[in-house]
């Protein structure tokens, strides 16, 4: 923490370098933490200066620009993982690994010039050169892991990090003993617009859900922004059965919407009135989540954080190809806590029906799962992570 002079008066300044990108799961927790930290510091008349270091043209560059955060691009190298180690020795992997030293040198220049009081790395391969640079420049590094187990980038950086922030208690047992002493459970920051709470009636109005039967539970189905073909397929197979028991909002992504529209056109009129098929849910998401009683979704870290912070019963269908099988680890942890139902093996219309039926038929069971999800949730995660950064920067 340093002092800046403005109009003859000294004002404290905290400088933070942020590294994390590639996907929204790495980018948005960082952005939420920046906004929270900025708000906390403004109450004590302290200024926050941020430099975001990432990949040119990546999501992080667009997010930083939109939020008015200075951005520096560095070279990055991505490891394309495979269960067969020999297949990882590929031209693409070798070429990318050669880019890492270049990225470290570029990151060292950026960190040295900016002089941060702390560095926050939220994962993704772009975090590695910045994390290494923080160590070389003797700057304090905080890494944040969104999933149950440390991702590859954070496993590398954990060795040199000052603090290791994880999203759940269950993560601690997966850490090496040497890292555990520096670990702190903060949770995974959730966007404020989600936490501030939506309104079910607004979802009804905004999305034109006038045919919904409010005496029935509402199911929100999502495969993420791009949709999930696996989820779309099994949901279609049980859709008439599902609509006899619930209202359904189905966010399917762009690739499957034409076929799903054709198939859903055969629904009986009464059932069709309780079904909304949409490519994407944007600003209405807080209201949709407020309306939803049950979610059927992937188990990415961001989705898990939102559902548990809000206390929503869910059936989770992990993405099998997720790096390090992280979605399965996320889903299993909640299933073992009674905070969700996880489909970890075969996913079919029958297994999905068996998983969701008790939640729709028994309000008490649905409420119990939702309550346990809320126990696992950490709505104050952004504040906790901001506090860790301040303690390291002080």
Return the structure tokens found at 59: 């999501």
- Percent of the chain clearing pLDDT 70 (strictly above): 91
pLDDT digits (tens, 9 = 90+) for 52-109: 999 999 999 999 999 999 999 999 866 545 555 455 556 666 656 667 889 999 999 9
Q: Which residues pair with 17 in a beta bridge?
A: 51, 119
Distance CA 155, CA 2 (A): 31
pLDDT digits (tens, 9 = 90+) for 295-344: 999 999 999 999 999 999 999 999 977 666 889 999 999 999 999 999 99
For the chain, the structural domain boundaries read 2-189+379-393, 193-376
Q: Which of 151, 140, 134 is nearest to 25 (CA)?
A: 151
Task: Specify burial of residue 196 (Cβ count, 10 A radius: 0-12, 13-18, 19+).
Answer: exposed
Question: For position 58, what pLDDT does the model report?
Answer: 92
| Identical topology for domains 2-189+379-393 and 193-376 | yes
123: left (phi over 0), alpha (psi -120 to 50) or beta: left
- Angle between helices 127-136 and 91-114 in degrees, nearest 10: 50
Locate tokens 């029958």: which residue?
Answer: 350
Please give the CATH superfamily to which domain 193-376 belongs. Answer: Glycogen Phosphorylase B; (3.40.50.2000)
Distance CA 275, CA 260 (A): 12
Fold classified for 2-189+379-393? Rossmann fold (3.40.50)
């Amino acid at each position: 923490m340093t002092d800046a002079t403005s109009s003859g008066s000294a004002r404290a300044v905290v400088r933070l370098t942020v590294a994390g990108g590639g996907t929204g799961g790495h980018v948005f927790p960082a952005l939420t933490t920046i906004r929270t930290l900025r708000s906390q510091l403004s109450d004590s008349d302290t200024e926050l200066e941020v430099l975001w270091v990432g990949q040119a043209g990546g999501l992080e560059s667009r997010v930083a620009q939109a939020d008015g955060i200075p951005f520096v691009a560095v070279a990055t190298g991505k490891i394309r993982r495979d269960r067969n180690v020999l297949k990882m020795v590929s031209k693409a992997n070798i070429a990318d690994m050669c880019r890492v030293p270049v990225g470290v040198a570029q990151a060292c220049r950026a960190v040295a010039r900016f002089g941060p009081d702390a560095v926050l790395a939220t994962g993704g391969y772009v975090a590695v050169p910045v994390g290494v640079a923080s160590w070389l420049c003797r700057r304090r590094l905080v890494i944040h892991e969104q999933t149950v187990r440390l991702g590859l980038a954070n496993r590398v950086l954990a060795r040199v990090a000052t603090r290791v922030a994880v999203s759940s208690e269950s993560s601690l047992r997966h850490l090496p003993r040497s890292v555990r002493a520096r670990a702190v459970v903060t949770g995974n920051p959730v966007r404020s617009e989600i936490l501030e709470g939506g309104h079910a009636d607004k979802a009804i109005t905004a999305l034109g859900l006038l045919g919904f039967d409010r005496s029935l539970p509402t199911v929100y189905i999502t495969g993420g922004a791009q949709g999930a073909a696996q989820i779309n397929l099994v949901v279609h197979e049980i859709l008439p059965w599902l609509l006899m028991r619930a209202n359904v909002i189905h966010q399917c992504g762009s690739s499957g919407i034409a076929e799903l529209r054709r198939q859903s056109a055969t629904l009986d009129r009464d059932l069709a009135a309780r079904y909304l098929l949409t490519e994407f849910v944007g600003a209405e998401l807080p209201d949709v989540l407020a309306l939803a009683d049950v979610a059927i979704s992937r188990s990415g870290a961001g989705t898990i954080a939102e559902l548990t912070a809000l206390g929503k019963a869910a059936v989770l269908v992990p993405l099998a190809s997720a790096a390090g099988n992280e979605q399965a680890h996320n889903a299993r942890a909640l299933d073992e806590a009674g905070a969700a139902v996880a489909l970890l093996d075969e996913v079919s219309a029958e297994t999905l029906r068996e998983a969701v039926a008790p939640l729709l038929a028994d309000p008490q069971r649905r409420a119990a799962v939702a309550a346990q999800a809320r126990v696992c949730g950490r709505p104050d995660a952004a504040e906790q992570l901001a506090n860790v950064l301040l303690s390291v920067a002080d």
